[in-house]
Amino acid sequence: MEIWPGQPYPLGATFNGSGVNFALFSEVAEKVELCLIGDDGAETRIGLTEVDGHVWHAFVPTIQPGQRYGFRVHGPFDPPNGHRCNPAKLLLDPYAKAIDGQIDLDNSLFSYELTDPLKFNEEDSLGHTMLSVVINPFFDWGHDRPPRHEYHDSVIYEAHVKGLSMTHPDVPDNIRGTYAAIGHHAIVDHLVRLGVTAIELMPVHQFVQDTTLQDKGLTNYWGYNTIGFLAPHAAYAGTGTRGQQVNEFKSMVKALHAANIEVILDVVYNHTAEGNENGPTIAFRGIDNASYYRLVDDNKAHYYDTTGTGNSLLMRHPHVLQLIMDSLRYWVTEMHVDGFRFDLAATLARQFHEVDRLSAFFDIIQQDPVISQVKLIAEPWDLGDGGYQVGNFPPLWTEWNGKYRDTVRDFWRGEAASLGEFASRLTGSSDLYAHSARRPIASINFVVAHDGFTLRDIVSYNAKHNEANGEANRDGENHNRSWNCGVEGETENGEINALRRQQQRNFLTTLLLSQGVPMIAHGDEVGRTQQGNNNAYCQDNDLAWIDWELAKRESELLTYTSALVSLRKKHAVFRRRRFFAGDAAHGGKSDLGDIEWFSSDGTEMDELDWRNGYARTLMAFLNGQAIPEPDPHGQRTIDSDFLLLFNAHSAPVDFVLPPAAYGLEWRICLDTTVPEPFNGGQPGWFAASTHPITGRSIVVLQAVPATKV
């Protein structure tokens, strides 16, 4: 076979129409072999003799897309000093753009003898491991353009590729659970009807199945176990795994963009699927363990773990940073995605012990001309010391606001909590973000995400019910801030079910009318349940998938949610680009008058009202005439005035509307006691008039324009 020297860049396998350039970084390697795997499993080994800057490379003419390959790295096997090379292990390319197969956790996958972690294992892993695939990079994108929705106009929909599409009756059976299904008109039409601007997909980077779960009849459903940072997960492709998954993913993005919907990926750059020192050797461990992983300084046989998964990537190593940046740029430039949500993002910022806002990772993101221009969302915590970092990321970033989730859940379950904190969350959490010159869009507001109860389960269960996970209900969060409305689990009691639906509307209304960027979890708009399971990471079945029959039974909730999204889109007062003036602890009240807060008796909130730990009611006046930021054309932004009436008490409370200076007449836009929104609104609520507001409900009033005489 003819072998040319090739080039050290780009890393990975690059097809140019006539052959493939292969390049692999390893500082510790003494010898590297490229292994071409035939359709029959036969292996052809090619020694890479060219080395530039620790990059081993060669060009192989005539190689075509679909070719499977791997590497064997010869070097030191010295675990106490952090080296774990073993040429008996066929290794994935860290830059593989497609991956075929799965590991089976045969003994041959381990670089050491299972009876002795310091003893070299000579068993060959070929036939038991995953294989890298050469792809064809060419694709007809047509007129594809990124939607580029502004943050303040965004409504994010968190979804799982398989869970969203697996049971949809209008999606053909042969593509359910795939990228093609997400791009199918049935799913796209649902997203358009709902009004979301972006779909945030749970991990689609190639991940590894956990055989210990499979032995229990379970599976790694969520996918937070990445092994291929440039490869779309092959199991979500309906057309094949020899590169077809790449084109299928691109077609999905193209279809969503055509519907004006952005694609955001949930990415896991903080660790890999190889686990701790007892894990298998699949890729990085065997290529250059000490360069890719953060090891314990005084015991390099062990990994420094801030993720709870066994390892953490060494974020201060230039080639690790390069891999992450190359991966991010690839997904933007070649796969056309519109942003990223970074799992356990605090880990990415760790240089040594602390979470460093000025870490190298943030530096290179900030200056990158591609990545700095897409949506960047942090999950601002990890499991290490000082890992809860909500509000501490740099200005370019937005963050999942865990404090928003907790405060809103507490308010609607009737906890004695500060009204001031609820007001702060409702108005964009300026107490968390304003100090770093950020704006309300820094807050990704959510009540529900994949990790935890569904919206329906928040109002149906007091305790988790994770028995199906096979861990005797020990896994998952114990403190869920949920309330079952009087009965644990499903019930036929009509009053309780009505209250549960009302509570769901309360949560959705609060979420979608809060300043910041709202995120809805898939299926919450149709009342999806996991039967009290708050940790469905291993449930690749009906328990975690959306039951699309609910869309018929819960059509009122779907209609209500769509109306809420529409109301938000129509009115700038709900999606301001700047914080309200004034003290965040008091919800932003100031002399500017852009927002005013009232007690249920119609008087302005005073210090005692704010500090009343037992208060469950408040009224917010949103002044549509006092929006300081201009519209997209530089003109003054003028909107309607709104009154938001919140009653979290169990019993009705009489609300007195503010005096005439705030509006003479109001019409009802939304009432969470009513399953469907009021089309056009119902007028007849006048200044200083008194109205009973049902317990555990919200009423949204819109000012009726004064009639000119």
pLDDT top residue among 382 and 148: 148
pLDDT band at 614 (very low <50, low <70, confident <90, very high): confident
pLDDT on residue 709: 35
Q: Which two tokens stand for residue 648?
A: 């979290």
pLDDT on residue 395: 84
Nearest one of 36, 68, 48, 70 to 3, comparing CA atoms: 48
pLDDT, one tens digit per residue, over 402-445 is 999 999 999 999 987 678 899 999 999 998 888 878 899 999 99
Q: Would the pLDDT of 181 be above 60?
A: yes
pLDDT on residue 357: 53
Greatest Cα pair distance, the chain, in angstroms, is 93
Q: CB neighbours of 367 closer than 8 A, spacing ≥ 6?
A: none
Taking residues 446-451, report their average pLDDT: 97
pLDDT on residue 384: 59
Q: Which two tokens stand for residue 363?
A: 């530096």
pLDDT band at 390 (very low <50, low <70, confident <90, very high): confident
pLDDT on residue 353: 47
Taking residues 132-150, report their average pLDDT: 97
**What amino acid occupies position 128?**
H
Element (H, E) at 609: helix 607-611
pLDDT band at 453 (very low <50, low <70, confident <90, very high): very high
Taking residues 336-346, report their average pLDDT: 91
Question: Cis peptide leading into 394, omega within 30 of 0?
Answer: no
Model confidence, pTM: 0.96
pLDDT on residue 416: 76
Whether 33 is catalytic is: no
Nearest one of 575, 708, 598, 614 to 657, comparing CA atoms: 598
Using DSSP's 3-state secondary structure scheme, residue 598 falls into strand
Q: Would the pLDDT of 626 be above 70?
A: yes
Catalytic position from the list 277, 326, 343, 540: 343
Q: What percent of the chain has pLDDT over 70?
A: 95
Nearest one of 280, 282, 363 to 316, comparing CA atoms: 363
Q: Would the pLDDT of 584 be above 80?
A: no
pLDDT top residue among 346 and 645: 645
pLDDT band at 351 (very low <50, low <70, confident <90, very high): low
CA distance 317 to 27: 12
pLDDT band at 680 (very low <50, low <70, confident <90, very high): low
Length of the chain: 709
Residue 494: how many CB atoms within 10 A of its CB? 8
Q: Which two tokens stand for residue 71?
A: 């590497």
pLDDT band at 385 (very low <50, low <70, confident <90, very high): low
Using DSSP's 3-state secondary structure scheme, residue 243 falls into coil
Nearest one of 618, 446, 619, 607 to 524, comparing CA atoms: 446
pLDDT on residue 708: 43
Nearest one of 399, 310, 317 to 350, comparing CA atoms: 317
Q: Which of 45-54, 198-207, 358-367, 511-520 has the lowest mean pLDDT?
A: 358-367
State the DSSP code for 225.
-
**DSSP 3-state helix, strand, coil percentages of the chain (rounded to 5)?**
25, 20, 50
Cβ atoms of 592 and 626 within 8 Å: the answer is: yes
Q: Would the pLDDT of 15 be above 70?
A: yes
User: What is the residue-averaged pLDDT of the chain?
Assistant: 93
pLDDT, one tens digit per residue, over 229-241 is 999 999 999 999 9
Taking residues 212-223, report their average pLDDT: 92
Nearest one of 484, 693, 489 to 602, comparing CA atoms: 693
Nearest one of 136, 373, 360, 384 to 246, comparing CA atoms: 136
pLDDT band at 352 (very low <50, low <70, confident <90, very high): very low
Q: Would the pLDDT of 363 be above 90?
A: no
Taking residues 474-480, report their average pLDDT: 96
Cβ atoms of 618 and 468 within 8 Å: the answer is: no
pLDDT on residue 386: 57
Taking residues 511-520, report their average pLDDT: 98
Q: Measured in whole angstroms, how far is the alpha carbon of residue 600 from the centre of its chain?
A: 37
Q: Would the pLDDT of 322 be above 70?
A: yes
Q: Measured in whole angstroms, how far is the alpha carbon of residue 513 from the centre of its chain?
A: 21
pLDDT on residue 344: 82
Catalytic position from the list 379, 525, 554, 609: 379
CA angle 118, 119, 120 (to 5 degrees): 120
Q: What percent of the chain has pLDDT over 90?
A: 82
Q: Would the pLDDT of 540 be above 80?
A: yes
Nearest one of 397, 451, 85 to 464, comparing CA atoms: 451
Whether 601 is catalytic is: no
CA angle 264, 479, 202 (to 5 degrees): 15
The pairing of beta strand 116-120 with beta strand 112-113: antiparallel
CA distance 645 to 633: 33
Q: Which two tokens stand for residue 467?
A: 């028995």
Q: What are phi and psi of 153, to 5 degrees?
A: -95, 0
